[in-house]
Amino acid sequence: MKRAIWAANQLRSKPYRFGGGHGSFYDSGYDCSGTVSYALGGAGLISSPMSSSDFRRYGERGQGRWITVYARNGHTFAVIAGLRLDTTPGDSPRYRWAPRWQTRARGPSGFEARHPVGL
């Protein structure tokens, strides 16, 4: 879990880019699934980037103790140790789309909750 947080922190200065992080964990910008992939890849929980649709089948069903990935076709985000990792503008209208931690919860309606085995 700590390695996922460390990895996600590396993206704080990266911009949003549709398709970013899909071909490789390392990119100039990241979209939602690229962001979640980078965090999970940094923790050694996946070996290659995944799309939002792929995350619908990731790991085990339901919420995890430390990491939960919420996925639907077209968008995904993760909650790691109680903080939401998402690319949406989030808590303030002044923010733009970009990888970031957000303190406000996001309702899971329409998303499938998945988690890494054991976490």
Query: pLDDT per residue over 55-96, tens digit each?
Result: 999 999 999 999 999 999 999 999 999 999 999 876 566 667
* CB neighbourhood size of 46 (10 A): 20
Q: Is residue 30 scored above 90 in pLDDT?
A: yes
List Cβ neighbours of 42 (8 Å cut-off, separation of 6 or more). Answer: 3, 4, 6, 7, 8, 10, 25
What are the sequence ranges of the domains in the chain? 2-115
pTM for the full model? 0.92
Measured CA to CA in angstroms, residue 27 lies from 21, 23, 97 at distances of: 5, 8, 16
Contact between 66 and 73 under an 8 Å Cβ cutoff? The reply is no
CATH topology of domain 2-115: endopeptidase fold (from Nostoc punctiforme) (3.90.1720)
Q: Is residue 47 scored above 70 in pLDDT?
A: yes
